[in-house]
Amino acid sequence: MGRHTLAFVIAAMMIIKLAHADNWAVLVSGSDGYYNYRHQADVCHTYHLLKNNGYKESNIIVFMKDDIAYNTENPFPGTIINYPGGPNVYEGVKMDYTGKDVTPTNFLNVLLGKDMSGIGTGKTLKTSSEDRVFVYFSDHGAPGLIAFPDYVMLYSKDLIETLDRMSSDNHFKEMVFYLEACESGSMFDRVLSDKLRIYATTAANPTESSYACDYDETYKAYLNDCYTRSFLNDTSNNDLHSQTLQDQFLRIKKSSTHSNVCQYGDMSIAKQPLSNWFLGTANKASNDLVFSSPPLTNFHLQKTKGLVNRNVKLEFLLKKIETATDSADKIKWQLELDDYKRDESKADTVFAAMSSMFELHYVRDAAANNGANDGDKCHTEVLDHDCIKEAAMVYQSECGKFNEYSIRYATYLNDACKARVSVNQLQKQLNRICSVVV
């Protein structure tokens, strides 16, 4: 074969290879319960944004409990909106994993492209080394972990191991991961290698809450999360071909006045145009839903009050009691509030006892004063992710699952790890504490 013929064959093979390159997305709402309305609304809106911008329906994989659209609390059954006056983003969303199938194990297996036959639709990532993967996740979090329905946890240790395996097995060309959760930076800070070809942004740094935005009096729910609201609006209202991921990050960071938006991993990916990830060259069918939410001006942002995500359920219950017109409804919501307060009291007592027993307040005070941030709010002290996973599992085995209130104390488990409390010590003392705390 002549030199020119060989060159032609190689060029043709490269063109064929590039022609088969594709974009894939995995969208996850990890919560359940009507008060968490915003997480499923975020995922539904993201689904339509991608599809209307040119993603193949077959290449978008959706995890969602699907308990919001037809929830008895929803005043408009079958409808979910993501911003005030917005369209029904629930309509047309093809969900792959719902109900009991929304689990950390299934999520990680889908990322790895494992056989999912008999679970949900069975759709999984069938990607090549030339494909780009976009992952969006919205739910609650704490240092080194994020939650799935019923507070089943996905730990940073397991997520990073999965991403590392995907990279080493060439399951993608590049990946972008947008994570909406409290203390979400802890999932990637100092553990997401810049060699994996993965770029991640998070709604909050490793030590702070993310925020819910746009409370709606009619739906009695927060319609979106502040970071996600900024990301969706930015993508909808900018030229995806001329603007880069870094341009978007800087705008989101500026508009997210409630928390510190952070970025991790391979920063070279951030230089790519948004169109590489969100496309923007679609030929929209006439019956497709098309969303073009109004740009969020500084004035709008100043008028929008965000709420710490961990306080959303409490506010939800208080508003239900305040607005109930039927005495039976008022009693129902008061009983739920009483349950919430009991859980609150138990968590306060358990973690106060644990903190005192292991002198964790000294660890916390030292960490606050040791200059760990050095002016960079996205990078904190190194977390022991193995220990955090073991400590969280011990807590749940001895004291029960985390809930909307107690998850805020997961940071104390990190403190125990820093204080070098052994797993056996922790289990013994938590068993002792939780056996007497009612």
Mean pLDDT of the chain: 89
Domain locations in the chain?
A: 22-303, 324-434
Question: Which of 313, 393, 399 has its CA nearest to residue 73?
Answer: 313
Q: Which residues contact 430 (CB under 8 A, 6 or more apart)?
A: 350, 354, 394, 395, 398, 399
Per-residue pLDDT of 389-398, as tens digits, reads 999 999 999 9
Q: What is the pLDDT of residue 16?
A: 44
Under DSSP, is residue 62 helix (H, G, I), strand (E, B) or coil?
Answer: strand
DSSP structure class, residue 134: E
Give Rg (Cα) of the chain.
Answer: 23
| Per-residue pLDDT reduced to its tens digit, 259-292 | 999 999 999 999 999 999 998 754 444 344 555 5
Contacts of 96 (CB under 8 A, 6+ apart): 61, 62, 63, 120, 121, 123
Is 75's pLDDT higher than 80? yes
For domain 22-303, the CATH class is alpha beta
Q: Which residues are catalytic?
A: 140, 182
Using a CB cutoff of 8 Å and minimum separation of 24, what contacts does 247-252 make? 247/274, 248/274, 249/201, 252/201, 252/227
Among 85, 39, 79, residue whose Cα is nearest residue 180: 39
Give the percent of the chain with pLDDT over 90. 81
Amino acid symbol at 326: D
What is the predicted pLDDT for the residue at 280?
Answer: 73
pLDDT, average across residues 32-40:
97
- Mean pLDDT to the nearest integer, 49-54: 94
pLDDT digits (tens, 9 = 90+) for 134-181: 999 999 999 999 999 999 999 999 999 999 999 999 999 999 999 999
Instruction: Identify which has the larger pLDDT, 313 or 376.
Output: 313
In CATH, what class is 324-434? mainly alpha
